[in-house]
């Protein structure tokens, strides 16, 4: 049949194909790739008529393979594609009452204006840890901005290009949210609060990008007859949102300490006999779990839970921190700040 359907050379090549001994189903193979696997990227490259990696391919690869948070990758991609629906862009398709920036009103609203030229953006950059004076750097577009800061001597000392990219992306995200709040809800926050928000965001994202976030804990259920008491704190620019024992405070470390005291009170009210306290603040759990006399953070000296058992789980590593552990269980007694710490039992 093969010899009848094909010419002599093709039939010979087909008949010389070695077949597997086992019964194997036929499958599809993409001839444009040695692996035989099809992908949209390779198909587009084949249609364009080339196999070499273009400069644009390299740019997208840098974005998607960077160590930053996926949300910032999306913002970076939006900047590269210039897809933010600013007034300057929308004016090309519809009639608008104004094309000026809704925050400063000084220039046509473009995404680069919101990143670098707007008075709010200038205030954020100046109030950041870098203290940049935007008006001293003459750049007028996103590509020009990247080329400028790509040079090591143009950046603040000890600051990598990735870190300043992260800062720029956090500025864009925050200013764009503030812009939408003004345009759609007529709500404008004080610049100090906006700067506080973006600086906190920058610190967190730079830690993620530099792989400086450590001690991720893996949650596991407690042993039988034990309870898990998870405590944490939530706060914003105005102070602590979580109720506190004595008074509200904007100090994160104090808030974490107050949170564990509240957690201990709750367990006492529930008459829990065995409790594992779990927290994401290593400093608080360590300092509140040490014997009196061992140095702890000075802010926590009057927020001592007398007896705690802290269990941290981290993959293969299992670390236990305990102080005065009762053989019959965990005795939870809240320390009275007015009393002598050495007399607290």
pLDDT band at 231 (very low <50, low <70, confident <90, very high): low
Query: What is the distance between the alpha carbons of residues 124 and 297, in angstroms, rounded to a whole number?
Result: 32
Q: Percent helix, strand, coil in the chain (nearest 5)? A: 45, 10, 45
Buried b or exposed e, range 4-38, using 16+ CB within 10 angstroms: eeeeeeeeeeeeeeeeeeeeeeeeeeeeeeeeeee
pLDDT at 278 over 90: no
Range in 45-49, 170-174, 182-186, 233-237 with the lowest mean pLDDT? 233-237
Predicted pLDDT at 83 = 94
Beta-carbon contacts of residue 93 (< 8 Å; ≥ 6 apart): none
- 239/148 Cα distance (integer angstroms): 39
Show Cβ contacts of residue 238 under 8 Å, excluding neighbours closer than 6 positions: 250
Closest CA to 156 of 188, 126, 197: 126
DSSP assignment of 181-234 equals HHHHH-----HHHHHHHHHHHHHHHHHHHTT----PPPP-PPPTT-EEEE----
Average pLDDT score, the chain: 76
pLDDT at 174 over 60: yes
Higher pLDDT, 335 or 149: 149
pLDDT of amino acid 293: 42
Instruction: Answer whether 102's CB lies under 8 Å from 183's CB.
Output: yes
Task: Please check whether residue 265 is in contact with residue 299, taking contact to mean a CB–CB distance below 8 angstroms.
Answer: no
Confidence of residue 142 (pLDDT cuts 50, 70, 90): very high
pLDDT score, position 313 = 36
- DSSP assignment of 14-42 equals HHTSPPPSS--------TTSTT----HHH
Q: Where does the pLDDT of residue 181 fall: very low under 50, low under 70, confident under 90, or very high at 90 and above?
A: very high
Beta carbons of 260 and 211 less than 8 angstroms apart: no
* Mean predicted confidence (pLDDT) in 271-300: 64
Residue 157 has pLDDT above 50, yes or no: yes
* Residue 262 CB neighbour total at 10 angstroms: 18
pLDDT band at 330 (very low <50, low <70, confident <90, very high): very low
- Record the pTM: 0.56
* Best CA proximity match to 146, nearest among 27, 63, 229, 203: 63
DSSP tag of 293: T
Cβ count within 10 A of residue 232: 14
Specify the pLDDT at position 333.
35
| pLDDT at residue 306 in the model | 38
In this predicted structure, the answer to whether residue 126 has a pLDDT above a threshold of 80 is yes
Phi, psi of 136 (to 5 degrees): -85, -5
Closest CA to 336 of 264, 238, 274, 286: 264
| pLDDT class of 239 with cuts at 50, 70, 90 | low
Output the pLDDT for position 328: 33
Please report the pLDDT score of residue 220 as a whole number: 73
pLDDT band at 19 (very low <50, low <70, confident <90, very high): confident
DSSP code at position 299: G
Q: Above 50 in pLDDT, residue 45? A: yes
pLDDT of residue 108 exceeding 90, the answer is yes
Distance between terminal CA atoms of the chain? Answer: 94
| Percent of all residues in the chain with a pLDDT value above 70, rounded to a whole number | 70
Least confident stretch, 69-73, 276-280, 307-311? 307-311
Cβ(297)–Cβ(281) below 8 Å: no
User: What span, in angstroms and rounded, lies between the C-alpha atoms of 326 and 82?
Assistant: 63
DSSP assignments along 46-88, one per residue:
HHHT--SPPHHHHHHHHHHTSSS-HHHHHHHHHHHHT----HH
* pLDDT beyond 80 at 15: yes
More confidently predicted of 214 and 177:
177
What percentage of the chain carries pLDDT values higher than 90? Answer: 39
């Amino acid at each position: 049949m093969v010899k009848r359907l094909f010419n002599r050379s093709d039939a010979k090549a087909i008949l010389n194909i070695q077949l597997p001994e086992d019964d194997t189903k036929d499958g599809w193979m993409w001839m444009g790739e040695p692996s035989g696997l099809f992908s949209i990227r390779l198909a587009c490259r084949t249609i364009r008529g080339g196999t070499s990696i273009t400069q644009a391919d390299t740019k997208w690869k840098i974005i998607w393979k960077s160590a930053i948070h996926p949300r910032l990758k999306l913002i970076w991609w939006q900047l590269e594609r210039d897809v933010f629906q600013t007034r300057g862009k929308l004016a090309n398709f519809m009639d608008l009452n104004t094309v000026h920036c809704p925050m400063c009103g000084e220039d046509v609203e473009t995404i680069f204006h919101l990143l670098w030229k707007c008075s709010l953006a200038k205030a954020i950059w100046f109030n950041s840890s870098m203290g940049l004076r935007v008006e001293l750097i003459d750049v007028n577009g996103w590509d020009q901005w990247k080329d400028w800061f790509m040079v090591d001597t143009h950046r603040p000392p000890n600051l990598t290009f990735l870190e300043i990219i992260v800062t720029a992306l956090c500025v864009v995200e925050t200013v764009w949210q503030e812009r939408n709040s003004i345009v759609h809800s007529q709500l404008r926050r004080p610049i100090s609060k906006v700067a506080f928000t973006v600086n906190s965001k920058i610190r967190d994202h730079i830690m993620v990008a530099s792989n400086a976030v450590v001690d991720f804990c893996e949650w596991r259920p407690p042993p039988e007859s034990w309870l898990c008491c998870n405590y944490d704190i939530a706060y914003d620019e105005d102070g602590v949102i979580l109720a506190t024992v004595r008074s509200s405070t904007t100090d994160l470390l104090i808030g974490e300490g107050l949170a564990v005291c509240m957690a201990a009170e709750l367990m006492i009210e529930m008459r829990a006999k065995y409790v594992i306290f779990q927290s994401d603040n290593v400093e608080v759990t360590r300092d509140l779990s040490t014997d009196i006399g061992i140095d702890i953070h000075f802010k926590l000296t009057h927020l001592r839970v007398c007896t705690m058992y802290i269990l941290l789980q981290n993959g293969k590593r299992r670390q236990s921190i305990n102080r005065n552990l009762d053989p019959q269980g965990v005795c939870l007694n809240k320390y009275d700040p007015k009393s002598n710490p050495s007399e607290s039992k």
